[in-house]
Structure 1
Amino acid sequence: MSLIVFLSVLGAALLHASWNALVRVGASRVGTMMVLSGVQGLIGLVIAMTMDWPGAAVWPWLVASGVVHSAYKIFLTFAYEHGDLSRVYPLARGTAPMITLMVGAIWLGEAVSMNETAGIVVLGVGILALARGVWTSGESRRMLPFAFGAACATAGYTVVDGLGARVAEDAALFVAWLFVLDGIIFAAAMLALRGRGSLPTGWRVWTAGSLGAAASYGSYAVAVWAMTLAPIALVAALRETSILFGVLIGWLMFGERMTPGKALSVALIAAGVVLTRI
Protein backbone atom coordinates (compact mmCIF):
# COMPACT_ATOMS: atom_id res chain seq x y z
CA MET A 1 0.00 0.00 0.00
CA SER A 2 1.44 3.37 -1.03
CA LEU A 3 1.75 6.30 1.38
CA ILE A 4 -0.87 8.30 -0.55
CA VAL A 5 -3.42 5.49 -0.28
CA PHE A 6 -2.52 4.97 3.40
CA LEU A 7 -3.07 8.63 4.32
CA SER A 8 -6.24 8.81 2.23
CA VAL A 9 -7.77 5.88 4.10
CA LEU A 10 -6.89 7.48 7.45
CA GLY A 11 -8.64 10.66 6.30
CA ALA A 12 -11.65 8.60 5.32
CA ALA A 13 -11.65 7.06 8.80
CA LEU A 14 -11.88 10.52 10.38
CA LEU A 15 -14.83 11.42 8.16
CA HIS A 16 -16.53 8.13 9.07
CA ALA A 17 -16.24 8.76 12.80
CA SER A 18 -17.56 12.29 12.29
CA TRP A 19 -20.79 11.25 10.56
CA ASN A 20 -21.44 8.56 13.18
CA ALA A 21 -21.08 11.22 15.88
CA LEU A 22 -23.66 13.36 14.07
CA VAL A 23 -26.13 10.47 13.98
CA ARG A 24 -25.55 9.54 17.62
CA VAL A 25 -26.11 13.04 19.04
CA GLY A 26 -29.11 13.79 16.84
CA ALA A 27 -32.52 14.20 18.45
CA SER A 28 -33.90 11.54 16.09
CA ARG A 29 -31.47 8.81 15.06
CA VAL A 30 -33.89 7.37 12.51
CA GLY A 31 -34.78 10.78 11.06
CA THR A 32 -31.12 11.80 10.82
CA MET A 33 -30.22 8.56 9.05
CA MET A 34 -33.14 9.01 6.65
CA VAL A 35 -31.83 12.45 5.67
CA LEU A 36 -28.28 11.12 5.44
CA SER A 37 -29.26 8.27 3.11
CA GLY A 38 -31.47 10.51 0.99
CA VAL A 39 -28.84 13.20 0.52
CA GLN A 40 -26.22 10.53 -0.22
CA GLY A 41 -28.53 9.21 -2.92
CA LEU A 42 -28.97 12.66 -4.45
CA ILE A 43 -25.21 13.26 -4.47
CA GLY A 44 -24.71 9.88 -6.07
CA LEU A 45 -27.38 10.53 -8.71
CA VAL A 46 -25.86 13.88 -9.70
CA ILE A 47 -22.42 12.29 -10.08
CA ALA A 48 -23.79 9.22 -11.87
CA MET A 49 -25.54 11.38 -14.48
CA THR A 50 -22.16 12.74 -15.58
CA MET A 51 -20.73 9.27 -16.19
CA ASP A 52 -21.34 6.30 -18.44
CA TRP A 53 -24.12 3.82 -17.63
CA PRO A 54 -22.85 0.80 -15.63
CA GLY A 55 -22.39 -2.40 -17.61
CA ALA A 56 -24.69 -5.39 -17.12
CA ALA A 57 -22.04 -7.25 -15.12
CA VAL A 58 -21.91 -4.43 -12.57
CA TRP A 59 -25.61 -4.28 -11.63
CA PRO A 60 -25.75 -7.48 -9.52
CA TRP A 61 -22.91 -6.09 -7.41
CA LEU A 62 -24.66 -2.72 -7.12
CA VAL A 63 -27.96 -4.25 -5.99
CA ALA A 64 -26.18 -6.48 -3.47
CA SER A 65 -24.24 -3.49 -2.20
CA GLY A 66 -27.36 -1.36 -1.81
CA VAL A 67 -29.09 -4.08 0.22
CA VAL A 68 -26.12 -4.68 2.53
CA HIS A 69 -25.47 -0.96 3.06
CA SER A 70 -29.11 -0.46 4.00
CA ALA A 71 -28.92 -3.37 6.45
CA TYR A 72 -25.84 -1.79 8.01
CA LYS A 73 -27.58 1.55 8.49
CA ILE A 74 -30.69 -0.08 9.96
CA PHE A 75 -28.67 -2.09 12.49
CA LEU A 76 -26.53 0.93 13.36
CA THR A 77 -29.51 3.25 13.81
CA PHE A 78 -31.27 0.85 16.15
CA ALA A 79 -28.04 0.21 18.10
CA TYR A 80 -27.60 3.93 18.72
CA GLU A 81 -31.09 4.03 20.19
CA HIS A 82 -29.83 1.78 23.01
CA GLY A 83 -26.15 2.68 23.47
CA ASP A 84 -23.48 5.37 23.43
CA LEU A 85 -21.12 6.21 20.58
CA SER A 86 -18.08 4.93 22.49
CA ARG A 87 -19.71 1.51 22.97
CA VAL A 88 -21.84 0.88 19.90
CA TYR A 89 -19.32 2.12 17.38
CA PRO A 90 -16.46 -0.17 18.53
CA LEU A 91 -18.75 -3.20 18.56
CA ALA A 92 -20.21 -2.37 15.17
CA ARG A 93 -16.81 -1.85 13.57
CA GLY A 94 -14.54 -4.05 15.66
CA THR A 95 -15.22 -7.53 14.34
CA ALA A 96 -15.42 -6.51 10.68
CA PRO A 97 -11.64 -6.62 9.99
CA MET A 98 -11.45 -10.17 11.31
CA ILE A 99 -14.30 -11.32 9.08
CA THR A 100 -12.92 -9.47 6.08
CA LEU A 101 -9.44 -10.89 6.61
CA MET A 102 -10.75 -14.45 6.62
CA VAL A 103 -12.88 -13.89 3.53
CA GLY A 104 -10.04 -12.17 1.68
CA ALA A 105 -7.47 -14.84 2.52
CA ILE A 106 -9.64 -17.96 2.20
CA TRP A 107 -12.07 -17.18 -0.62
CA LEU A 108 -10.50 -14.30 -2.55
CA GLY A 109 -6.90 -15.47 -2.42
CA GLU A 110 -5.55 -12.02 -1.62
CA ALA A 111 -1.95 -11.83 -0.42
CA VAL A 112 -1.57 -10.18 2.98
CA SER A 113 1.86 -10.19 4.65
CA MET A 114 2.52 -11.48 8.17
CA ASN A 115 3.03 -7.94 9.46
CA GLU A 116 -0.20 -6.79 7.87
CA THR A 117 -2.04 -9.77 9.32
CA ALA A 118 -0.59 -9.07 12.75
CA GLY A 119 -1.61 -5.43 12.43
CA ILE A 120 -5.18 -6.37 11.54
CA VAL A 121 -5.39 -8.74 14.52
CA VAL A 122 -3.93 -6.22 17.00
CA LEU A 123 -6.21 -3.52 15.61
CA GLY A 124 -9.25 -5.74 16.07
CA VAL A 125 -8.27 -6.67 19.64
CA GLY A 126 -7.89 -3.00 20.52
CA ILE A 127 -11.29 -2.11 19.11
CA LEU A 128 -13.03 -4.99 20.88
CA ALA A 129 -11.28 -4.15 24.15
CA LEU A 130 -12.60 -0.62 23.86
CA ALA A 131 -16.14 -1.98 23.80
CA ARG A 132 -15.81 -4.21 26.88
CA GLY A 133 -17.67 -1.69 29.06
CA VAL A 134 -21.01 -2.95 27.77
CA TRP A 135 -20.48 -6.04 29.94
CA THR A 136 -18.76 -4.39 32.91
CA SER A 137 -20.52 -1.03 33.30
CA GLY A 138 -24.14 -2.15 33.46
CA GLU A 139 -25.02 -0.60 30.12
CA SER A 140 -27.98 -1.77 28.07
CA ARG A 141 -27.29 -5.02 26.26
CA ARG A 142 -30.18 -4.46 23.89
CA MET A 143 -27.62 -2.79 21.63
CA LEU A 144 -25.66 -6.02 21.16
CA PRO A 145 -27.62 -7.83 18.43
CA PHE A 146 -27.90 -4.60 16.43
CA ALA A 147 -24.21 -3.74 16.86
CA PHE A 148 -23.09 -7.22 15.83
CA GLY A 149 -25.52 -7.16 12.91
CA ALA A 150 -23.88 -3.91 11.79
CA ALA A 151 -20.47 -5.59 12.11
CA CYS A 152 -21.50 -8.45 9.83
CA ALA A 153 -22.99 -6.00 7.34
CA THR A 154 -19.76 -3.97 7.41
CA ALA A 155 -17.73 -7.03 6.48
CA GLY A 156 -20.28 -7.92 3.81
CA TYR A 157 -20.33 -4.59 2.02
CA THR A 158 -16.55 -4.25 2.30
CA VAL A 159 -16.05 -7.42 0.26
CA VAL A 160 -18.96 -6.78 -2.14
CA ASP A 161 -17.93 -3.20 -2.86
CA GLY A 162 -14.24 -4.01 -3.26
CA LEU A 163 -15.02 -6.68 -5.84
CA GLY A 164 -17.82 -4.71 -7.46
CA ALA A 165 -15.64 -1.65 -7.98
CA ARG A 166 -13.05 -3.87 -9.67
CA VAL A 167 -15.71 -5.29 -12.00
CA ALA A 168 -16.90 -1.75 -12.79
CA GLU A 169 -13.30 -0.60 -13.28
CA ASP A 170 -14.43 2.78 -11.97
CA ALA A 171 -14.72 3.33 -8.21
CA ALA A 172 -16.49 6.69 -8.55
CA LEU A 173 -19.18 5.22 -10.83
CA PHE A 174 -19.74 2.27 -8.51
CA VAL A 175 -20.00 4.41 -5.36
CA ALA A 176 -22.40 6.85 -7.02
CA TRP A 177 -24.89 4.18 -8.05
CA LEU A 178 -24.61 2.16 -4.83
CA PHE A 179 -25.66 5.20 -2.80
CA VAL A 180 -28.59 5.86 -5.15
CA LEU A 181 -29.82 2.29 -4.58
CA ASP A 182 -28.99 2.41 -0.87
CA GLY A 183 -31.04 5.59 -0.41
CA ILE A 184 -34.08 4.01 -2.06
CA ILE A 185 -33.81 0.69 -0.23
CA PHE A 186 -33.14 2.25 3.18
CA ALA A 187 -36.07 4.68 2.94
CA ALA A 188 -38.44 1.89 1.91
CA ALA A 189 -37.22 -0.38 4.70
CA MET A 190 -37.53 2.28 7.43
CA LEU A 191 -41.02 3.28 6.29
CA ALA A 192 -42.01 -0.38 6.48
CA LEU A 193 -40.48 -0.80 9.95
CA ARG A 194 -41.36 2.53 11.58
CA GLY A 195 -44.03 4.05 9.35
CA ARG A 196 -44.52 7.83 9.28
CA GLY A 197 -42.53 8.12 12.50
CA SER A 198 -39.37 7.56 10.50
CA LEU A 199 -39.85 10.72 8.44
CA PRO A 200 -37.40 13.52 9.38
CA THR A 201 -38.70 16.68 11.03
CA GLY A 202 -36.92 19.81 12.29
CA TRP A 203 -34.00 21.77 10.92
CA ARG A 204 -31.49 20.14 13.28
CA VAL A 205 -32.24 16.70 11.88
CA TRP A 206 -31.93 17.96 8.33
CA THR A 207 -28.68 19.81 9.09
CA ALA A 208 -27.06 16.88 10.90
CA GLY A 209 -28.19 14.43 8.25
CA SER A 210 -26.94 16.57 5.37
CA LEU A 211 -23.54 17.14 6.95
CA GLY A 212 -23.32 13.45 7.75
CA ALA A 213 -24.17 12.56 4.16
CA ALA A 214 -21.31 14.66 2.78
CA ALA A 215 -18.84 13.16 5.26
CA SER A 216 -20.09 9.61 4.69
CA TYR A 217 -20.03 9.89 0.90
CA GLY A 218 -16.52 11.29 0.85
CA SER A 219 -15.29 8.72 3.33
CA TYR A 220 -16.61 5.73 1.46
CA ALA A 221 -15.63 7.00 -1.99
CA VAL A 222 -12.02 7.15 -0.80
CA ALA A 223 -12.26 3.70 0.79
CA VAL A 224 -13.64 2.00 -2.33
CA TRP A 225 -11.03 3.74 -4.48
CA ALA A 226 -8.34 2.42 -2.13
CA MET A 227 -9.76 -1.12 -2.40
CA THR A 228 -9.04 -1.05 -6.13
CA LEU A 229 -5.36 -0.38 -5.41
CA ALA A 230 -4.63 -2.38 -2.23
CA PRO A 231 -5.79 -5.61 -0.53
CA ILE A 232 -9.40 -5.28 0.64
CA ALA A 233 -8.64 -6.67 4.12
CA LEU A 234 -5.84 -4.14 4.66
CA VAL A 235 -7.95 -1.17 3.58
CA ALA A 236 -10.82 -2.37 5.78
CA ALA A 237 -8.51 -2.67 8.79
CA LEU A 238 -7.00 0.79 8.35
CA ARG A 239 -10.46 2.24 7.96
CA GLU A 240 -11.32 0.87 11.40
CA THR A 241 -8.94 3.43 12.91
CA SER A 242 -12.08 5.56 12.81
CA ILE A 243 -12.53 4.08 16.30
CA LEU A 244 -9.53 6.12 17.42
CA PHE A 245 -11.07 9.28 16.03
CA GLY A 246 -14.43 8.36 17.56
CA VAL A 247 -12.88 8.10 21.03
CA LEU A 248 -11.15 11.46 20.60
CA ILE A 249 -14.39 13.09 19.41
CA GLY A 250 -16.23 11.66 22.40
CA TRP A 251 -13.53 12.87 24.80
CA LEU A 252 -12.89 16.35 23.40
CA MET A 253 -16.36 17.31 22.16
CA PHE A 254 -18.85 15.30 24.21
CA GLY A 255 -16.99 15.17 27.53
CA GLU A 256 -16.80 11.35 27.67
CA ARG A 257 -14.30 9.98 30.18
CA MET A 258 -10.88 8.84 28.95
CA THR A 259 -10.36 5.89 31.29
CA PRO A 260 -7.13 3.84 31.48
CA GLY A 261 -8.94 1.03 29.67
CA LYS A 262 -9.88 3.33 26.80
CA ALA A 263 -6.32 4.66 26.64
CA LEU A 264 -4.94 1.09 26.40
CA SER A 265 -7.41 0.23 23.66
CA VAL A 266 -6.42 3.34 21.70
CA ALA A 267 -2.75 2.34 22.06
CA LEU A 268 -3.54 -1.12 20.63
CA ILE A 269 -5.34 0.48 17.70
CA ALA A 270 -2.35 2.73 17.00
CA ALA A 271 0.00 -0.27 17.22
CA GLY A 272 -2.13 -2.15 14.72
CA VAL A 273 -1.87 0.73 12.25
CA VAL A 274 1.93 0.84 12.67
CA LEU A 275 2.22 -2.91 12.06
CA THR A 276 0.37 -2.62 8.76
CA ARG A 277 3.00 -0.09 7.60
CA ILE A 278 6.17 -2.03 8.57
Structure 2
Amino acid sequence: MLTALPLADLIPCDRQPGWGCLGVGLVLLAVAAVVALLASWLMLRLAGVRPAWQVAAVVGLLSWLWGELSDRAYAWSASTALLPLTSAALFALAAVLTAPRPVSWRPRIALLAVGALLWPLSALVGDHRADASRRSELVDVGVPLFAPDIAGYRIEHPMATRHGPWFGFVLWPKRADVDTKDPNSWTVRVTVTPLQPRFQPPACEAVDLGSTVRGTPCEQVAANTWRTVNPYVLFYFVRREGFVIVLSADGKHVTDADLRTLASTLAVRDPDFFLR
Protein backbone atom coordinates (compact mmCIF):
# COMPACT_ATOMS: atom_id res chain seq x y z
CA MET A 1 0.00 0.00 0.00
CA LEU A 2 2.82 2.37 0.86
CA THR A 3 4.40 1.95 -2.55
CA ALA A 4 1.11 2.96 -4.18
CA LEU A 5 1.04 6.33 -2.40
CA PRO A 6 2.32 9.31 -4.47
CA LEU A 7 5.03 10.05 -1.92
CA ALA A 8 7.47 11.28 -4.56
CA ASP A 9 4.96 14.01 -5.47
CA LEU A 10 4.48 15.05 -1.84
CA ILE A 11 7.98 14.54 -0.49
CA PRO A 12 11.22 14.38 -2.55
CA CYS A 13 11.93 10.89 -1.26
CA ASP A 14 12.82 9.06 -4.49
CA ARG A 15 16.39 10.35 -4.32
CA GLN A 16 16.91 9.60 -0.65
CA PRO A 17 19.59 7.00 0.16
CA GLY A 18 18.58 3.70 1.67
CA TRP A 19 14.99 2.62 1.19
CA GLY A 20 13.87 5.81 -0.58
CA CYS A 21 10.11 6.38 -0.65
CA LEU A 22 9.43 3.07 1.07
CA GLY A 23 11.58 4.10 4.01
CA VAL A 24 9.88 7.51 4.21
CA GLY A 25 6.49 5.75 4.05
CA LEU A 26 7.42 3.45 6.94
CA VAL A 27 8.55 6.42 9.03
CA LEU A 28 5.32 8.28 8.24
CA LEU A 29 3.31 5.19 9.16
CA ALA A 30 5.07 4.96 12.54
CA VAL A 31 4.52 8.67 13.18
CA ALA A 32 0.85 8.37 12.23
CA ALA A 33 0.42 5.44 14.65
CA VAL A 34 1.94 7.46 17.53
CA VAL A 35 -0.17 10.53 16.69
CA ALA A 36 -3.34 8.39 16.50
CA LEU A 37 -2.54 6.80 19.86
CA LEU A 38 -1.99 10.18 21.55
CA ALA A 39 -5.10 11.69 19.95
CA SER A 40 -7.21 8.72 21.08
CA TRP A 41 -5.86 9.01 24.62
CA LEU A 42 -6.61 12.75 24.72
CA MET A 43 -10.18 12.37 23.43
CA LEU A 44 -10.90 9.51 25.83
CA ARG A 45 -9.44 11.51 28.69
CA LEU A 46 -11.60 14.54 27.86
CA ALA A 47 -14.66 12.26 27.59
CA GLY A 48 -14.04 11.00 31.11
CA VAL A 49 -13.02 7.45 30.16
CA ARG A 50 -10.72 5.84 32.72
CA PRO A 51 -8.14 4.39 32.31
CA ALA A 52 -7.81 6.27 29.00
CA TRP A 53 -4.32 5.10 28.11
CA GLN A 54 -5.25 1.41 28.40
CA VAL A 55 -8.29 1.82 26.16
CA ALA A 56 -6.25 3.79 23.59
CA ALA A 57 -3.51 1.14 23.55
CA VAL A 58 -5.99 -1.73 23.19
CA VAL A 59 -7.84 0.15 20.42
CA GLY A 60 -4.54 0.37 18.54
CA LEU A 61 -4.03 -3.38 18.82
CA LEU A 62 -7.63 -4.12 17.84
CA SER A 63 -7.41 -1.76 14.87
CA TRP A 64 -4.32 -3.62 13.65
CA LEU A 65 -6.13 -6.94 14.14
CA TRP A 66 -9.17 -5.66 12.24
CA GLY A 67 -6.95 -4.54 9.37
CA GLU A 68 -5.27 -7.94 9.24
CA LEU A 69 -8.65 -9.72 9.25
CA SER A 70 -9.89 -7.46 6.44
CA ASP A 71 -6.79 -8.24 4.37
CA ARG A 72 -7.12 -11.97 4.98
CA ALA A 73 -10.84 -11.86 4.14
CA TYR A 74 -10.17 -9.90 0.94
CA ALA A 75 -12.72 -7.32 2.18
CA TRP A 76 -10.99 -3.92 2.02
CA SER A 77 -13.93 -2.10 0.44
CA ALA A 78 -16.38 -3.38 3.06
CA SER A 79 -13.93 -2.47 5.82
CA THR A 80 -13.69 1.09 4.52
CA ALA A 81 -17.47 1.46 4.10
CA LEU A 82 -18.08 0.26 7.67
CA LEU A 83 -15.28 2.36 9.18
CA PRO A 84 -17.51 4.57 11.40
CA LEU A 85 -19.33 1.52 12.76
CA THR A 86 -16.20 -0.56 13.26
CA SER A 87 -14.36 2.33 14.93
CA ALA A 88 -17.16 2.73 17.48
CA ALA A 89 -17.28 -1.05 18.01
CA LEU A 90 -13.51 -1.26 18.55
CA PHE A 91 -13.57 1.50 21.17
CA ALA A 92 -16.49 -0.19 22.94
CA LEU A 93 -14.70 -3.55 22.83
CA ALA A 94 -11.50 -1.99 24.17
CA ALA A 95 -13.47 -0.43 27.02
CA VAL A 96 -14.94 -3.83 27.93
CA LEU A 97 -11.56 -5.56 27.80
CA THR A 98 -9.88 -2.93 29.99
CA ALA A 99 -12.71 -2.32 32.44
CA PRO A 100 -11.40 -2.39 36.06
CA ARG A 101 -12.63 -5.14 38.36
CA PRO A 102 -15.10 -6.79 36.00
CA VAL A 103 -17.97 -8.74 37.51
CA SER A 104 -16.94 -11.73 35.43
CA TRP A 105 -14.14 -12.73 33.11
CA ARG A 106 -16.59 -14.57 30.88
CA PRO A 107 -17.29 -11.63 28.52
CA ARG A 108 -13.57 -11.12 27.99
CA ILE A 109 -12.97 -14.82 27.39
CA ALA A 110 -15.89 -14.96 24.96
CA LEU A 111 -14.59 -11.95 23.03
CA LEU A 112 -11.10 -13.40 22.84
CA ALA A 113 -12.54 -16.74 21.64
CA VAL A 114 -14.49 -14.95 18.91
CA GLY A 115 -11.33 -13.13 17.83
CA ALA A 116 -9.41 -16.40 17.70
CA LEU A 117 -12.11 -18.00 15.54
CA LEU A 118 -12.20 -15.02 13.18
CA TRP A 119 -8.54 -15.54 12.24
CA PRO A 120 -8.93 -18.89 10.36
CA LEU A 121 -12.44 -17.93 9.21
CA SER A 122 -11.14 -14.75 7.56
CA ALA A 123 -8.55 -16.80 5.63
CA LEU A 124 -11.25 -19.16 4.34
CA VAL A 125 -13.44 -16.24 3.28
CA GLY A 126 -10.46 -14.51 1.67
CA ASP A 127 -9.47 -17.59 -0.34
CA HIS A 128 -13.04 -17.95 -1.60
CA ARG A 129 -13.32 -14.27 -2.55
CA ALA A 130 -9.91 -14.29 -4.23
CA ASP A 131 -10.83 -17.35 -6.32
CA ALA A 132 -14.17 -15.78 -7.26
CA SER A 133 -12.43 -12.54 -8.25
CA ARG A 134 -9.83 -14.33 -10.37
CA ARG A 135 -12.52 -16.46 -12.02
CA SER A 136 -14.53 -13.33 -12.83
CA GLU A 137 -11.46 -11.69 -14.36
CA LEU A 138 -10.74 -14.74 -16.49
CA VAL A 139 -14.34 -15.00 -17.71
CA ASP A 140 -14.47 -11.31 -18.68
CA VAL A 141 -10.96 -10.89 -20.07
CA GLY A 142 -12.11 -10.78 -23.71
CA VAL A 143 -9.65 -13.31 -25.18
CA PRO A 144 -9.84 -17.11 -25.35
CA LEU A 145 -8.07 -18.82 -22.48
CA PHE A 146 -5.47 -20.65 -24.56
CA ALA A 147 -3.06 -22.88 -22.65
CA PRO A 148 -0.86 -25.85 -23.51
CA ASP A 149 -1.06 -29.32 -22.05
CA ILE A 150 0.55 -28.75 -18.64
CA ALA A 151 1.47 -32.34 -17.82
CA GLY A 152 4.77 -31.95 -16.03
CA TYR A 153 4.11 -28.26 -15.23
CA ARG A 154 2.12 -26.20 -12.77
CA ILE A 155 0.42 -22.88 -13.47
CA GLU A 156 1.16 -19.83 -11.36
CA HIS A 157 0.10 -16.19 -11.44
CA PRO A 158 -2.75 -16.21 -13.99
CA MET A 159 -3.12 -12.58 -15.04
CA ALA A 160 -6.01 -11.03 -16.95
CA THR A 161 -6.75 -7.47 -18.00
CA ARG A 162 -9.72 -6.01 -19.83
CA HIS A 163 -7.56 -3.08 -20.96
CA GLY A 164 -5.73 -4.37 -23.99
CA PRO A 165 -7.00 -7.02 -23.58
CA TRP A 166 -4.51 -9.77 -22.79
CA PHE A 167 -4.18 -12.83 -20.62
CA GLY A 168 -1.11 -14.62 -19.35
CA PHE A 169 0.41 -16.97 -16.80
CA VAL A 170 3.65 -18.65 -15.82
CA LEU A 171 4.53 -22.34 -16.03
CA TRP A 172 6.90 -24.02 -13.59
CA PRO A 173 8.33 -27.48 -14.36
CA LYS A 174 7.40 -30.17 -11.84
CA ARG A 175 10.92 -31.38 -11.24
CA ALA A 176 12.83 -32.09 -8.06
CA ASP A 177 15.83 -30.01 -9.16
CA VAL A 178 13.86 -26.81 -9.88
CA ASP A 179 15.22 -23.76 -8.06
CA THR A 180 12.12 -21.71 -7.18
CA LYS A 181 14.37 -18.79 -6.25
CA ASP A 182 15.51 -18.49 -9.87
CA PRO A 183 12.29 -18.05 -11.90
CA ASN A 184 14.02 -16.57 -14.95
CA SER A 185 15.97 -19.76 -15.56
CA TRP A 186 13.10 -22.20 -15.10
CA THR A 187 9.74 -20.69 -16.04
CA VAL A 188 7.83 -20.45 -19.29
CA ARG A 189 5.69 -17.36 -19.84
CA VAL A 190 2.48 -17.71 -21.85
CA THR A 191 0.56 -14.68 -23.18
CA VAL A 192 -2.63 -14.48 -25.28
CA THR A 193 -3.58 -11.29 -27.15
CA PRO A 194 -5.77 -10.39 -30.14
CA LEU A 195 -3.99 -10.49 -33.48
CA GLN A 196 -2.66 -7.01 -34.28
CA PRO A 197 -1.86 -5.56 -37.73
CA ARG A 198 1.78 -5.22 -36.68
CA PHE A 199 2.08 -9.00 -36.40
CA GLN A 200 3.40 -9.66 -39.90
CA PRO A 201 5.88 -12.55 -40.01
CA PRO A 202 8.79 -12.57 -40.54
CA ALA A 203 8.38 -9.53 -38.26
CA CYS A 204 6.67 -10.92 -35.16
CA GLU A 205 5.48 -8.09 -32.90
CA ALA A 206 3.43 -9.27 -29.93
CA VAL A 207 3.06 -9.02 -26.16
CA ASP A 208 5.08 -11.05 -23.64
CA LEU A 209 3.30 -10.69 -20.26
CA GLY A 210 2.77 -6.97 -20.72
CA SER A 211 6.08 -6.20 -22.47
CA THR A 212 6.02 -5.64 -26.22
CA VAL A 213 8.28 -7.76 -28.40
CA ARG A 214 8.80 -5.23 -31.19
CA GLY A 215 9.13 -6.43 -34.76
CA THR A 216 11.34 -9.34 -33.83
CA PRO A 217 12.58 -11.23 -36.93
CA CYS A 218 11.10 -14.71 -36.73
CA GLU A 219 11.24 -17.95 -38.72
CA GLN A 220 8.32 -20.27 -39.40
CA VAL A 221 8.76 -23.69 -37.81
CA ALA A 222 5.24 -25.13 -38.26
CA ALA A 223 1.82 -24.13 -39.54
CA ASN A 224 0.93 -20.76 -37.95
CA THR A 225 3.94 -21.08 -35.65
CA TRP A 226 7.07 -18.95 -35.67
CA ARG A 227 10.20 -18.85 -33.54
CA THR A 228 12.76 -16.24 -32.54
CA VAL A 229 16.05 -17.11 -30.90
CA ASN A 230 18.32 -14.48 -29.41
CA PRO A 231 21.10 -14.63 -26.79
CA TYR A 232 18.67 -13.90 -23.98
CA VAL A 233 15.13 -15.12 -24.77
CA LEU A 234 13.55 -17.84 -26.86
CA PHE A 235 10.11 -16.93 -28.26
CA TYR A 236 7.44 -19.03 -29.93
CA PHE A 237 4.56 -17.21 -31.65
CA VAL A 238 1.41 -19.20 -32.43
CA ARG A 239 -1.47 -17.70 -34.43
CA ARG A 240 -4.88 -19.20 -33.62
CA GLU A 241 -8.39 -17.96 -34.53
CA GLY A 242 -7.49 -14.29 -34.70
CA PHE A 243 -5.25 -14.38 -31.63
CA VAL A 244 -1.52 -14.68 -30.97
CA ILE A 245 -0.12 -16.84 -28.18
CA VAL A 246 3.46 -16.10 -27.14
CA LEU A 247 5.51 -18.66 -25.26
CA SER A 248 8.84 -17.40 -23.99
CA ALA A 249 11.70 -18.54 -21.80
CA ASP A 250 15.08 -17.05 -21.01
CA GLY A 251 16.71 -19.80 -19.03
CA LYS A 252 19.09 -22.60 -19.87
CA HIS A 253 16.72 -25.14 -18.30
CA VAL A 254 13.93 -24.59 -20.87
CA THR A 255 14.85 -25.91 -24.31
CA ASP A 256 13.61 -25.20 -27.80
CA ALA A 257 12.04 -28.66 -27.83
CA ASP A 258 10.15 -27.84 -24.61
CA LEU A 259 8.59 -24.74 -26.11
CA ARG A 260 7.80 -26.47 -29.39
CA THR A 261 5.96 -29.26 -27.54
CA LEU A 262 3.99 -26.77 -25.46
CA ALA A 263 3.11 -24.71 -28.54
CA SER A 264 1.79 -27.78 -30.35
CA THR A 265 -0.68 -28.57 -27.54
CA LEU A 266 -2.36 -25.17 -27.21
CA ALA A 267 -6.14 -25.32 -26.75
CA VAL A 268 -8.87 -23.17 -25.20
CA ARG A 269 -9.38 -24.06 -21.53
CA ASP A 270 -12.05 -23.18 -18.98
CA PRO A 271 -11.29 -20.81 -16.05
CA ASP A 272 -11.02 -23.64 -13.51
CA PHE A 273 -8.03 -24.97 -15.47
CA PHE A 274 -6.02 -21.97 -14.18
CA LEU A 275 -7.30 -22.02 -10.60
CA ARG A 276 -6.25 -25.48 -9.47
Same fold per superposition (TM over 0.5): no
What TM-score, normalized by structure 1, do the two folds share? Answer: 0.21
The higher-RCO structure (CA 8 Å, 6+ apart) is 1
**Bigger helix fraction:** 1
Which TM-score applies when normalising by structure 2?
Answer: 0.21
